[in-house]
Structure 1
Amino acid sequence: MGMCMHVPKQKSGSIIQTTPQIQPSRKIISAQDEEKELTENLRKQTKSRIHIKKKAGVTTSKFEIEDIVDAPNAIITDRPKSPWDVEIIQNSLDHHFIFSSLTPEQRDMVVEQTKHYSVSKNGIVFEQGQPGTNFFVLATGILEVIIDNNQVNTLKSGDSFGELALLHDAARSATIKALENSTLWGITRKTFRTALEAMNSTANQENMQFINSVPLFQILTPGQKEALVSSLNTQKFEVRQRIVNEGDPGDLFYLIIEGSVSVTKEGRELRISGRGDYFGEQSLLYNCLRTASITAITPVKCVAINREKLKNALGEQLQSILYINSQRIALEKSEVFSKLNKDQIEEIIKQTHILSHPLNDIAIPSNTEKGRFLWIILQGELSDGQSNFHPFDCIGDQELLNPNEGFFENDVIAQEDVILGKLSKMEIETILGTSIQKAATQNEAMQVLKGVSILKNLSVEKLRSLIDVLKVVDYFDGEIIVRQNDPGDSFFIVKDGIVEIYKDDHIVRTIAKYDYFGERSALFNEVRSATVKAKGNVACWVLHQTEFLNLIDSKVRTLLTKRIQLQDSKIKFTDLRVIRTIGKGMFGIVFLVMHKNNRNVFALKTVERKKIDRFSIHANLVLERKILLQLDHIMIVKLVRTFKDEKRLYFLTEFVRGMDLFDVLRKQFLLNELDARFYTACLITILIYLHERDIIYRDLKPENVIIDEDGYPKLIDFGTAKFISGRTYSLVGTPHYMAPEVIICKGYTVAADYWSLGIMLYEFQCGRLPFGEEDNDPTAVYEKILEHDLMFPDWFDKKSSSKNFIKQLLSINPAMRNSGTSEKLKNNPWLSSINWDRLSNKQIKAPFIPTLFDLGLDDFYNPDETADEVISREEALDASLSLRVKHKPPPSTNWDEDF
């Protein structure tokens, strides 16, 4: 966790190869042979990547280095800056990419926050190899640059240096020493990032408030609003500057943040508009000419969005989106349709006919038969003389469930211009494949089955098959449903009522609707561990073992059995035997361990309390545990349980046998499109699962993905993950895979994970990284990411749909990366061949199965040694505790109570 440090794999006897050029063939060969030759040449081109080391992650510091500060002997003051000082600082910012994306206000903030440093002759500004905290601008004097005890350069007034320290605490690449008394302007990382975060956070909140204040946008979903905020740009206007000219074509919509404007038509002032007002919305909808002129009365600051950006952010015409959202709200509000699932709702919306009715038009004539149609009001108001119907109301939904309800007695008339959605009962049932009532009942059962631990990883197809064999059994008050110690061959889900659980004739708990019991009997012939009795009348769904096993093939059964074994909360620390060390990080050591009785193997991560206190990672460990407990996915490492004692905290997880994706890519050299699609689809499945739970991963890269014994990816290492609501600002991740908005402290969302996925897909298909492939210096990598010069190799298939998909994932605009929703992402043309249900159940053949080696379960360190003795010996070899860091007390005395 934490720094995500990875030890690079050393390749013995390696010879770095030069990249051969692909030469055109001089002989006539078949297309098949030509493709084979091209593939072989491409493999040769990428083979040199076998020698590339793993990329280490970075993060803003979780702890403060003790006694290591920049310019330790300088006199630091907050003295006023002269115009010359401001100019020299502003000019220096132009030379560093970190400041290139800042707004003028943000650049002014940097200038304002710098402090004055006076350094005496021979004084050290900072030393090579030490972590850095400051960016400096030299005002007066001369500094020398020393690398490995050799002077390599001198710095004079106006020169600036140390900008990487504003991002993270990377080691300084040189020593800077004063050759004479010198003065500098400096700003610390903490000051820079805190101020920038505050400004960006305020701007984002302000923009979101404006979006929420516009009636036109109020119906948008949170994700759509976030996409709009990401697409806004700021514009400023001086006094008397014309913003909009009457009669001009317009495609910009403006929201006023500061200042006042005059709105005139044919030279006559109509009104004064100010903060919170907006104009130009008609241009977004209808591409019409401006109906008035807008002139700045005072200096004005606006945020603006044009029609093209709106289309890119939302994917469709705004009017269409408003109609779709209105239908979605109405259907979810309806008692009849609220029980349908998201896919069914979306398909109904897709098939709905949109109709318009002007004022006083008859929308629904009298004598129209009830129960045949559904009407959804999208805009305007209807009335039948007795009742009024408003936007988001459904008309005729209840009657769909009850045929022969008669006819409308009165005409339903438009009270203004009205937009309706209309769909027949026959069309709805064709979409659902069954009656509305039955679809709702099946959905209810589906939701319950997805909540059963042993079933949650089954495909939708399998769950539907189970629903068909579920039987409803009624029990009377006091009736015994199962008896303790009897053989078990089925499991039960409470459909209605309450049941009591007894152990040895003592009641231990009661369970109610949608709770379940006896689930392990669906796979194992275990005796009942308790008696279950009906309290009042009870109805249960019952699934018998034979029917369950007939529907589940042996591979899926094996997967389910493994998942159940990972849910064994009865494991004690004393049950574990340490086999060997399998990994070391800055904060923890990971061991392969075995249960002494059943010989099941696990991974055990140990974290010393001395380290926890020294590096102040209490909150990080609590968060990591909380996140892992939320996760139960077949392609994500599973937390079994945690332990604690007076020396350490422990995370017991599943042990994933296989090879990490980094090494698979080195072994395979280059992935063909089919294999790249397989891994990408798996990673999309993982990311969607995390993002639906408001978890952002933040360090997606091949090193954090294990290809397991089935050939499927398994995501590991959740040390940088966090729960997210809105935006977050920490610089966390690995430079080559880091999204632009993460680097520039703009604030980022889960869309940053899709950027990392885009980097990986490019790597899969091109055999290299798109930005900074040859660079190990994070500064150079960041700069190339922000330049965003995305180039593909000459040999890359220009017709491949994966190229457009890569461009989408690597869009500068975060809202573009998943096309607005995860469902739209999955429906991308490049992924159209993926059967998502089969993929989530590991039923698609994997492209590569790693070779598995003997775990050596009988090769203990020493069978007579305790786990504590083995772990203590490994800890004694760790030198990280020698770092001088500021000790911080735990957040509370019982901070680890949940471990």
Structure 2
Amino acid sequence: MDSKNQWNQKSSVQEFGIQKSSVAKPVHQQPKPTQQVAPKNEHDPNQLVRRVTKRNIAIKKSIATNEGTIYETFDPLMKPQTPQDIGFIVKCFQSHFVFSSMNETQLVQLAKSMFYCRLVIGQTIIKQGDGASSFFVLEKGKINVLVDGISRKQLTQGNGFGELALLYNAPRSATCVAMEECFLWGIDRHTFRKSVENVMRSEQEKNRQLLEQVKFFNQLTKDQKDAIAGVLILQKFNQNEIIVNEGDQASSFYIIVEGKCGVFNKEDVQIATLNPKDSFGESALKHDNQIRMMTIKAIEKDTKVVALGKDMITQILGDKVQYIIYKNICKWALNRSKLFGKIPASVQDKLIEGVIYRKFTAGQKVINKGDKVGYLYIALEGNVLDDQKNVIANNILNEESLYDEVTNTKHSQSYTMETEGHVAVIDYDKYRTTYGSVEKLQEKDQSNLHSEEHQQSYDLVKQFQLKELIFLNKLGSGQFGSVYLCRNKNQETLFALKYVTRAHIQQYGIQKHVQQEKSVLEIMNHQFILKFYRSFKDAENIYFLTEYIAGEELFDAIREIGLLGKYDSQFYTAQMILQMEYLHTVHQIVYRDIKPENVMVDQFGYLKLIDMGTAKSLKNVSPPKTFTIIGTPHYMAPEVISGKGYGYFADLWSVGCCLYEFLCGGLPFGEEQEDPFEIYKEIVKNPLHYPSYITDKTAKTIIEQLLNKIPECRLGGSYSSLKNNQWFSDFDWNKLMQRQLQPPLIPKKEKLMNETQIQEQLKKNILVIDQIQKDTMGQKKVFAQPKDAEWDSIF
């Protein structure tokens, strides 16, 4: 925990439309090494130098002030909004990057949340150095923008200013004074966030309800439906306007929201009517090269439909949508099974990896009585009958035959297709030969379970007292506290002890933040994530006791290595993907600040994810999204910046930034920028570019998937499909999980505290709590109050 974790919020005069920033750079960012030695040698990766400076511009939730505080000065007025007012505001919104990802319907709803105000001549609405809370659209008048007392720009009708205030609270970098009487529309950050959240949640919920009405989507998982609901596009059609034309290539699927549509034959005669919640074009999603068989027109004024393109659903779910549906049915069948239902999801995924989908005609035998047992069969499409004429659909056909692999060598009955359909066939014998029988794998997950030895260690640590911890070394310092290396008097295990002062918790109002960090840490149980043991508290501080990772930050490691090759990048990226898979799928947690500074390389060269201070559970949130602007600007996903709400896919964007950094040596967006505003603009607006020496097409493909500005397209259907990406085709995930791969770098031992140094420090017998008192001498202290029991009882 060092300066990289500080909440260093800053603004720029850019938010007032001035091109040159006057914000002084923090000392730790001066000087800034150039990304490349010489542009003319860009083709030579050996001449590339990584930036040494850490990305310290961490933007977290506005905590220094009450969200309801308004810093700007104006005279509020009552004015009912007219359609002309709404149109004027929306047009202004569309010229600012903060609103660029919102559609017109969303912008209209946002415009309706704005207040009206007036300035008299000479009145200052914004003062340089003050806090920021509101964004304004100038309807009438003229405003002078001054930086350090010098006039830099004039704002006139239609100009918007102060948009950075909608993202986070930072000191204003300019002063705005009315040059004549002015009238403005404004919105404060709190209202903006609430309005956007309400609009987005309402829209997502409506889309989800529409999907639930369509049988095709019933075969998708909740997460898949959530993802699709996020990319549905609302379209409006006038009466008699054609939506799809007979003979055209079928590329989209539609659900009617309002109005009615007519189905017309070649003679332009209406043969059917489609009403709200009806859909058409399903075959376009399931199959390639489909041709429209009918023409469909809007037959009512202002008919509205939501559209889903085949290319979009392919990006979200992966290729061959029908096979994705089949895979879902297989997983649901396994989950319902007595034999397979208790095995971990990772084992189920391995079982399904080798599945073959076979088509059967009506009356064809799927399994013959007396056949050798060795394959697992799952009915996918169509009905299957057993010898007693029982109908089996979307379920395992021969589960009982698989229970005892010794005595059950032949099938006891036949199974026949009643109707034409598909059956999944899995080579269960091959699976057992490779991984062992499912019976032996039940309740066992190699990646996540503590060993018995670790469990004993956990139980022992629970009995520790804070006063038993001996100080060995100081590992790092931050704005809210420090981290110390320590050891219990009676145990050889080394620990890291992080403390947060009550003074800072109270000053910044981060009680819930600290609670959240602990609640996330204590459920972590993964080999590539920091182990948490317990918390302590006293009158001055809250403490977190974790494992000690004897190593260095990935940030430093990749600078030692230089430009990473394919294997090195695969090694680190794969572990980040496994970390995210665990957080997202096992615990429904979004991390929100993936970057090399938050990942440690341990003494064996493998990664450990640390610092859960920004992690948040979305377990009981529907849809699973949060709206807080939080993270480090260079690694922030576009949807985080826009305030539209974001979920797990935001973490995959950050992983994509890291992968780009591994292979290219710099970051994909804002590499030469330090001002958050400029970084945000590049992330939202700029396309992705590569140095000329990046020629690996498969690397570009996975980077572009992870850095897709449509969040739902980053996963590619599932973590299983992401791990099977072509770029990983020569990478052994099993050996990674078993820690049998050669790491790119092993931290040098001289950087670590050796046993002799530890013993010398132990002889001094300095308690950690005494060292903390010494280090914080002279600092302002706040002591526990009775009211603190409302939040600190969990520590």
Equivalent residue of 2:597, what SS?
helix
Which residue of 1 is the match for residue 71 of structure 2?
Answer: 70
Give runs of aligned pairs for residues 162-201 of structure 1, distance below 5 A. Answer: 162-201=162-201
* Alignment of 1:376 onto 2:378: yes
CA distance in 2, matches of 1:79, 1:20: 58
- With normalisation by structure 1, the TM-score equals 0.76
2:735 paired with 1:838: yes
Q: Give a deviation string over 1:553-596, Cα, whole Å, max 9, x none.
A: xxxxxxx79x9479622221111244565434343333343434
Following TM superposition, by how much is the alpha carbon of 1:314 offset from its aligned partner in structure 2, in angstroms? Answer: 1.7
- 2:283 corresponds to which letter in structure 1? Q
Report % sequence identity: 31
| Cα 1:853–1:335 shift into 2, 3 Å | closer
**Deviation at residue 764 of structure 1 after TM alignment:** 1.3
The 2-side partners of 1:386 and 1:292 are apart by 46
Kindly indicate whether residue 592 of structure 2 is the aligned counterpart of residue 698 of structure 1. Answer: yes
Q: Do structure 1's residue 739 and structure 2's residue 637 form an aligned pair?
A: yes
Counterpart residue identity of residue 812, structure 1: K
**Higher relative contact order structure (alpha carbons within 8 Å, sequence separation ≥ 6):** 2
Among 607, 614, 623, the alignment partner of 1:713 is: 607
Q: Which amino acid aligns with 2:137?
A: V
- Equivalenced residue count is 759
- Return the alpha-carbon distance in structure 2 between the equivalents of residues 729 and 893 of structure 1: 28
Matched, 1:750 2:648: yes
Match of 1:810 among 707, 716, 720: 707
TM-score by length of 2: 0.86
1:364-391 per-residue CA deviation (whole Å, 9 max, x = no partner) reads: 6987658577543222234468433132
Q: How far apart, in 1, do the equivalents of 2:752 and 2:295 lie?
A: 78
- Partner Cα separation in structure 2 for residue 227 and residue 588 of structure 1: 39
Q: What is the one-letter code of the residue matched to 2:696?
A: K
Maintained 8 Å contact 1:324/1:349: no
1:567–1:640: 8 Å Cα contact kept in structure 2?
no
**What is the aligned partner in structure 2 of residue 464 from structure 1?**
none
Q: Is 1:627 matched with 2:520? A: yes
1:729 match: secondary structure: coil
Q: Answer yes or no: is the 8 Å Cα contact 2:133–2:169 preserved in 1.
A: yes
Q: Find the counterpart in structure 1 of residue 450 from structure 2.
A: 453
**CA shift for structure 1 position 657:** 3.2
In the aligned structure 2, how far is the partner of 1:380 from the partner of 1:11? 64
Classify 1:373/1:108 alpha carbon distance in 2 versus 1 (closer, same or farther; 3 Å). closer
**Partners of 2:133 and 2:189 within 8 A in 1:** yes
Task: Give the Å deviation of 1:642.
Answer: 0.4
Contact 2:594/2:655 (<8 A) preserved: yes
Q: 1:268/1:140 Cα in 2 relative to 1: closer, same or farther (>3 Å)?
A: closer
Where does 1:868-879 land on structure 2 (aligned, <5 Å)?
A: 868=769, 870-872=771-773, 874-875=775-776
Does structure 1 retain, via aligned residues, the 8 Å contact 2:134–2:166?
A: yes
Structure 1 range deviating more: 607-616 or 59-68:
59-68
Deviations 1:711-733 (A, max 9, x none): 33322211110112422222211
Alignment of 1:354-503 (within 5 A): 354-358=358-362, 361-363=363-365, 375-383=377-385, 386-400=388-402, 401=404, 403=408, 408=413, 412=416, 414=418, 416-422=419-425, 427-433=427-433, 439-444=437-442, 446=444, 453-454=450-451
Displacement of 1:812 after TM fit? 2.1
SS in 2 for 1:378: strand
CA distance, structure 1, for counterparts of residue 178 and residue 551 of structure 2: 54
Q: Partner of 1:605 in structure 2?
A: 498
The answer on 1:661 being equivalent to 2:679 is no
Aligned-pair CA distance for 1:757: 0.9
In structure 2, the residue corresponding to 1:297 is in which secondary structure?
A: coil
Retained in 2: the 8 A contact 1:208–1:229? Answer: yes
Q: Structure 1 residue 673: deviation in Å?
A: 2.7
Q: What's the secondary structure of 1:184's corresponding residue?
A: strand
Q: Give the CA deviation at 1:782.
A: 1.4
Distance 1:585 1:10, change over 3 A: closer
Preserved CA contact (<8 Å) 1:246 1:289: yes
Matched, 1:898 2:794: yes
User: Match of 2:563?
Assistant: 670
More moved, 211-220 vs 604-613: 604-613
Q: Any residues of structure 2 matched to 1:852-863 within 5 Å, and which?
A: 852-853=750-751, 855=753
1:297-355 deviation line (CA, Å, top 9, x unaligned): 13222221122222222212222222333333334434344466654665457343512
Question: Do 1:193 and 1:745's aligned partners in 2 also have CA atoms closer than 8 Å?
Answer: yes
Shift in Å, 1:76: 1.7
SS in 2 for 1:593: strand
Partner of 2:19: none
* Counterpart-to-counterpart distance in 2, 1:14 and 1:267: 68
Partner Cα separation in structure 2 for residue 388 and residue 787 of structure 1 = 58
The whole-number CA distance in structure 2 between the counterparts of 1:385 and 1:66 is 68
Matches within 5 A, 1:141-180: 141-180=141-180
Q: Does the aligned pair in 1 maintain the 2:589–2:618 contact within 8 Å?
A: yes
Moved more, 383-392 or 646-655: 383-392
Opposite residue 804 of structure 1, the aligned amino acid is T
Q: Say whether 1:790 aligns with 2:688.
A: yes
- The 1-side partners of 2:652 and 2:417 are apart by 48
Asked if 1 retains the 8 angstrom alpha-carbon contact of 2:486 and 2:495, the reply is: yes
1:293 to 289, 292, 296: 296
Partners of 1:94 and 1:100 within 8 A in 2: yes
Structure 2 unaligned regions, length at least 5: 9-25
What residue identity is the alignment partner of 2:440?
Q
Moved more, 128-137 or 10-19: 10-19
Q: Residues 601 and 129 of structure 1: is their aligned pair in 2 closer, same or farther, counting only changes over 3 Å?
A: farther
- Correspondence for 1:779 among 677, 682, 686: 677
For residues 220-619 of structure 1, the aligned pairs below 5 Å read 220-265=220-265, 266-286=267-287, 287-338=290-341, 342-343=346-347, 346-347=350-351, 350-358=354-362, 361-363=363-365, 375-383=377-385, 386-400=388-402, 401=404, 403=408, 408=413, 412=416, 414=418, 416-422=419-425, 427-433=427-433, 439-444=437-442, 446=444, 453-454=450-451, 519-520=452-453, 564=457, 568-578=461-471, 581-598=474-491, 600-619=493-512
Contact 1:344 1:431 in 2 (8 A): no
Secondary structure of the residue aligned to 2:76 is strand
- Structure 1 residues 168-177 or 764-773, which shifts more? 168-177
Q: Whole-Å Cα distance in 1 between the matches of residues 390 and 698 of structure 2?
A: 50
The structural deviation recorded for 1:87 is 4.6
1:750 shift after superposition: 1.4
1:751-803: CA deviation from partner (whole Å, max 9, x where unpaired): 2111101111111121111111111222221121122410101222x235322
Distance 1:311 1:891, change over 3 A: farther
Q: Secondary structure at the match of 2:661?
A: helix
State the shift of 1:61 in Å.
Answer: 1.6
Contact 1:381 1:389 in 2 (8 A): yes
Aligned-partner Cα distance in 2 for 1:812–1:183: 36
**Residues 735 and 741 in structure 2, CA contact (< 8 A), matched pair in contact too:** yes
Query: 1:118 aligns to what?
Result: 118
Whether the 8 Å contact between 1:581 and 1:591 is mirrored in structure 2 is yes
| Matching of residue 127 in structure 1 with residue 130 in structure 2 | no
Q: 1:837 to 1:9 in 2, by over 3 A?
A: farther
- Paired position in structure 2 for 1:827: 724
1:75/1:376 Cα in 2 relative to 1: closer, same or farther (>3 Å)?
same
Distance 1:596 1:398, change over 3 A: closer
1:698 positional shift: 0.6
Q: 1:5 to 1:11 in 2, by over 3 A?
A: closer
SS in 1 for 2:703: helix
Within a 5 Å distance, the mapping from 1:47-58 to structure 2 comes to: 49-50=51-52, 52-58=53-59
Q: Which residue type is aligned with residue 283 of structure 1?
A: A
| Structure 1 residues 769 and 822, CA gap change in structure 2 (3 angstroms) | same
What's 1:638 paired with?
Answer: 531
Kept after mapping to 2: 8 A contact 1:636/1:686: yes
Structure 1 residue identity aligned to 2:480: F
1:722 has 2:616 as partner: yes
Bigger Rg, structure 1 or 2: 1
